[in-house]
Amino acid sequence: MRGGWFKVYALVYLVFLYAPIILLPMFAFNDATVIAFPLSGFSTKWFAALVDDPLLRDAVRNSLIIAVTTAILSTTLAVFAARASTRYRFPGKAGLMGLIMLPLVLPEIIVAVSLLSILLMAGIELSILTVILGHVLICTPFCIAILSSAFQSLDRSLEEAAYDLGETPFSTFRLIILPLVMPGIISSLLISFTISLDEFIIAFFLAGTQATLPVYILSQFRFPQAVPAIMALGTILVCLSILLLGIAEFFRRRGLARSGAKDTGGFL
């Protein structure tokens, strides 16, 4: 069989990738407080424990506010940049795009400490708002990557036709371009929401006293008795991410199918 050994290797690799995620529900539904084998018995008490934790409720609320705002802002900023870079030639384009895409390769801690310094020097109090500022910065490059491929696959003659039929640039954008890139916009919203929801380092530095979900999770790891509930929380989060990504993937493929482009793979 051609590629036989490669296939075995790839499957083993997938097991390596999924090992932590397979363990997660095992411990979430396990009866014992200690996170170890052998499992002792089935229980849903850790899920119940999540419901009446006021700290968790605050963290979830903060994270949702941050993630929704970040998704909208970074997708909006990315629409401008992706449209400009795929459609127009202008001086300084490579430099500006390089700067905008820089957070993709910059260690997050560098982004976090430099933002922290400037915010404190400007006298801005740390809050949910400052986390949003940081998250928009790191999510925008991912959104641009998704949206650029959506804008690139647009057929320019459609736009020309709209102009020839008397539409203004704005109405052309609203009536022709926006509907065509809509699947890209939806998957960009979902991806940036997911990144923001899971981002830890920037939130840790910039949240001040308002903990986000990952900051809460890390603080709970210090208490061994709190860990099983975190496993339950993790199980819920994994299911949520898979659901969101499934939807994002669906829209991405539909977008590709709509513009007739070839599928080039994942989001990254």
Partner 1 sequence: MTSGGVLRRTGRSEAATGLAMISPTATYAILLLAAPLALIFIVSFLTDGYLEIIRTFTFANYIEAWTNELYRVVMVRSLLVALSVTAVTVLLAFPVAYFVSFHVDPSRKSLWLFLITIPFWTSYLIRVFLWKVILGYNGVVNSSLLGLGIISEPLQWINYNVGAVVVTLAHAYAPFAILPIFVALEKIDRSLLEAGQDLGESRVMTFLRVTLPLAMPGVVAAVLIVFIPIIGDFVTPQLVGGPEGRMVANLIQLQYLKLDNYPLGSAIAVSAMAIVTLVSLLFLYLNRRYLRGPGS
Among 84, 129, 145, 226, binds partner 1 (CB under 8 A): 84
Structure tokens at 210: 């308002």
Binding mask 63-82 for partner 1 (x = CB under 8 A): --------------xx-xx-
Cβ proximity to partner 1, 36 vs 51, nearer residue: 36
The reply to whether 214 sits near partner 1 by the rule CB under 8 A is yes
218 contacts partner 1 (rule: CB under 8 A): yes
Considering only residues 1 to 60 of the shown chain, the ones binding partner 1 according to CB under 8 A are 2-3, 6-7, 9-10, 13-14, 16-21, 23-24, 27, 35-38
Those residues whose C-beta lies under 8 Å from the C-beta of residue 26, and which sit 6 or more positions away, are: 39
Q: Which of 66, 100, 128, 186 binds partner 1 (CB under 8 A)?
A: 100
Take residue 172 and report the two structure tokens written for it. Answer: 């052309």
Nearer to partner 1 by Cβ, of 37 and 44: the residue is 37
160 binds partner 1 (CB under 8 A): yes
Of the candidate residues 45, 57, 87, 174, the single one contacting partner 1 (CB under 8 A): 87
Q: Does 241 bind partner 1 (CB under 8 A)?
A: yes
- Candidates 42-50, 56-64, 87-95, 179-187; binding stretch for partner 1 (CB under 8 A): 87-95
Contact with partner 1 (CB under 8 A) among 49, 249, 258, 261: 249
Residue 149 makes contact with partner 1 by CB under 8 A? no
